[in-house]
């Protein structure tokens, strides 16, 4: 939540999301897949509103006190995002789970499941992820 934008000072005052970064807690969490489910729900909310994050990694997710996931670091984000931009978000997240969180078995799959349950256009976005991967392979 943005509280204030001061054009003169060039400052933005915004809500501090209290809690650890998902990156730091997910591997040693009691139930990592529960966090993954919550990540899927949170990304679905963002994407359903046509917002792409632009740097969708677990370093930019805060595990809030109530267990929900909050996003920070929207500097690469955009509104009115198309399927391609949303696909790039999901592709980055998949890569994060195959590298930084490779010990979380089925982590990305769990995210995709809850994402699909909560995002009407999930299929189009996930199909696009496959296209993006194909492209990456040949460039
Ligand atoms: N706990 C937080 N709550 C709200 N906003 C935050 C929080 N932590 C960081 N931010 C915002 O996200 C921006 C980027 O933070 P961070 O992702 O930690 O840095 P970077 O990825 O650039 O190294 C910060 O400038 C700040 O505006
Ligand atoms: Mg960041």
In the reported structure, the alpha carbon of residue 135 is separated from the centroid of ligand 1 by a whole-number distance in angstroms of: 31
Integer Cα distance of 62 and 130 in angstroms: 28
The catalytic residue among 27, 55, 73, 121 is 55
* All domains in the chain, ordered by first residue: 17-137 (1.10.510.10)
- Which residue minimizes the CA distance to atom 20 of ligand 1? 73
Percentages helix, strand, coil for the chain (3-state, rounded to 5) are 50, 15, 35
Average pLDDT for runs of 10 along the chain of length 139: 90 93 96 97 96 96 95 93 97 94 94 98 97 83
- Cβ proximity of 4 and 49 under 8 Å: no
Is residue 73 among the annotated active site residues? no
Place of tokens 């696009």: 128
Global pTM value: 0.93
Integer Cα distance of 128 and 43 in angstroms: 16
Which pLDDT belongs to residue 41?
A: 97
Secondary structure (H, E, C), 60-99: HEEECCCCCEEECCCCCCECCCCHHHHHHHHHHHHHHHHH
Integer Cα distance of 43 and 90 in angstroms: 9
- Which residue minimizes the CA distance to atom 9 of ligand 1? 72
Confirm or reject: Cβ of 73 under 6 Å from ligand 1. Answer: yes
Quick one: which atom of ligand 1 is closest to the CA of 59?
Answer: 17
In the reported structure, the alpha carbon of residue 118 is separated from the centroid of ligand 1 by a whole-number distance in angstroms of: 26
């Amino acid at each position: 939540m943005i509280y204030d934008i001061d054009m003169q000072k060039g400052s933005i005052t915004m809500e501090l999301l209290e809690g650890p970064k998902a990156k730091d807690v997910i591997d040693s969490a009691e139930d990592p897949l529960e966090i993954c489910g919550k990540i899927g729900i949170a990304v679905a909310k963002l994407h359903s509103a046509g917002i792409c994050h632009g740097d969708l990694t677990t370093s930019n997710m805060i595990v809030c006190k109530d267990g929900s996931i909050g996003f920070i670091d929207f500097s690469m984000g955009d509104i009115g995002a198309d399927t391609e931009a949303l696909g790039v978000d999901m592709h980055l997240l998949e890569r994060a789970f195959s590298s930084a969180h490779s010990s979380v078995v089925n982590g990305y799959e769990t995210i995709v499941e809850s994402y699909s349950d909560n995002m009407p256009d999930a299929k189009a976005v996930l199909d696009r992820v496959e296209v993006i991967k194909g492209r990456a392979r040949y460039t």
